[in-house]
Structure 1
Amino acid sequence: MHYLPLIPRLQRLYASPSSAKHMRWHAENHHDIGMMCHPSDGGAWKHFDKTYPDFASEPRILRLGLCSDGFSPFGMSSKSYSCWPIIVTVYNLSPSMCMTTPYMFLSSIIPGKNNPKAQIDVYLQPLIDELKSLWEIGVVTYDVSLKQNFVMKASLMWTISDFPAYGMLSGWQTTGKLSCPYCMKSSQAFWLKNGGKHSWFDCHCQFLSMNHPFRKNKNDFLKGRVEKSYPPCLLCGEEVLERVSYIPKITEQPNLKMPGYGATHNWTKRSVFWDLSYWKDNLIRHNLDVMHIEKNVFDNVFFTIMDIKRTNKNKDGVKSRMDLREHCLRPELELSVDNGGKVLKPKASFTCNDDQRRAVCEWLHNIRMPDGYAGNLSSCVDLKE
């Protein structure tokens, strides 16, 4: 493991004239009510300020975020190797600065070759120790912009990751029927016996108003179903802490499997972030990186609509049609068998024909994007296929 101390680098933000004056941006620049241009405009930031007014009274105190994701340093080669960087971001700065490279601090590099999974807490411990010190004690720092010393403190507002890493950081395993960390045991997911996985189809109806017509729609969602349930209650930080307080940390009992796992809960550990005394008071503790979600959703929708056969990203397969017959009223999409015993899969109305696919590919081939945005998009299109 490679760990890079965080505190000296945070102090240098106040030692440099080019950055010190911007460290109070979040407190000195306000926007219209209802407009969110920066995390300081959001409810989670304001909730934390109300909970800790003494902390919020000093605009130079740091608000931090933690990001993590695995990558392969060898690219798409046959050698399997997963490396996990831990990056800390500073939200005191303006939107044009806080997400740029100079202000994103590499804290740890977790070497491979395997995914650390729940053991990531072991590698996070040095950073957590620094964060605890910054919250409880602070460190005397010189602010060159105001030419004075002050006690620099910091709080970790949230983490940012994709959904699998969400489970690694939070301690709630994001697989199986109970994978939703908000619905928890109230999840309405059901098993697709042909697809061999859980589905959350039609689970959105419980979040609609009680008089919404979708709740009584028996034809366009799950067949014959009327949704009468209320949405699951959203637990506050103290309630979540109460539930995990009896669960050991990964460093205490690394191989312990809690009773009821997969049936009533998905807890695998008590996350190391609960060592931060203020963690329970964060309105949002873990955020999802929408980049991964957007890409995965787009891939599945695009390959399905384009009706591309040679990929597992096309979700309109034979097994999907078999499950559809069991759960939905879509007779025009159901499989049939001809006189010779061959299974026939009707073409869906939402898929493209050859001419439509060719038109989409030609448009992508001819489109021109700005450099650094999607400059090589046209080169990824093969018109012959």
Structure 2
Amino acid sequence: MSTPRTVLVVGGGAAGNAVTILLRRAGIAVDLIEAKDDWNATAGSGITLQGNALRVLRELGVWEQVEESGYGFGSVGITAPDGTVLHVQDDLRTGGDDLPATVGMQRPQLQRILIDAVRASGATVRLGTTAETLDQDAGGVRVRLSDGSEGRYDLVIAADGLGSATRAAIGVTDRPEPTGMAIWRIAAPRPAGVVRTDLAYGGPAYIAGYCPTSDTTLYAYVVEANRDRASIPAGSYADEMRRLASAYGGHWPEITAHITDPAQVNYTWFDRLLVEGSWHRGRVVLIGDAAHCCPPTLAQGAALSLEDAWVLARFLTGADDWDDALLQAYYERRIARVRPVVEASVQIGRWQLDGVRDADVPGLMARTMTMLRELP
């Protein structure tokens, strides 16, 4: 069998965009569909990109734009709730010594960079479009789209996120499960003294932190036990986040002064998902949050998704036959790396929820990040 010629990518987030760019570079025809009309170009506040994420972004050919748009730094500070700096730890350069340890970015800016790269790749893009039916046979998948059109593909890559409809459609019954924590996030102007991520443990929240995202911006967040979303009116989001953040000192008073617009505050629960056994059914394969998700305690969600895209593209472009054995090999390659990150991310939060005071958080973080320095 010759190399399959046509791929449908379902979902235009980090994983879907990345795999599209890489497959198009290899000359494979790619259709990308995204449910949101705006391609998620304005969604989110900020994102922390560790070195292993930057390594993939460099492979995509967008590192220079990321470097110019974001804010690179190499350490993390631990502070008391009053803002007193207790310890500054150098971050491990998981992407190699020729890349920063960490880059903070405005999430919409990263999405726009990836969107531009997808469009430049020559992929066909349909926005406001979903996959309605997937009919498989031994040679491919016939897909009916929500716009009424149909197409036949050699492979469908499901990159449609945590609530993946594609995952459910192919019979994978795994679902995300809440871990017990939730996070408030907002983008705000960057105080001049904020040059790295600082994390405060204790106070009314489990964690209060911020990350510079450009020369003029940052995103700030506070983590608490999750609450029934229905009990928090959207109009009170700014009040709720400001109430929690106002207990913290240092740079927080300047940040808190900008928590005024509830529409700019994002509230989400922490979830855990890890699909076991395989990430494909026939010729439909899962990547990114559709296959796994972890709390942001290690800032590895986007990085793992980007790695999925990179590894899957290498498998696909390096093989003549896109068969069950190839897709299972992709899963086995990724699960060995993803599982310990998901488990460590959940464990760090569990220790906090359980009030474990002698937990070896630094040791667990160091072991996990050292593993991620290796190529995926």
Question: Is this a same-fold pair by TM over 0.5?
Answer: no
- Structure of greater Rg: 1
Structure having the higher strand fraction is 2
- Which TM bucket (shorter chain)? under 0.3
TM-score by length of 1: 0.25
TM-score by length of 2: 0.25
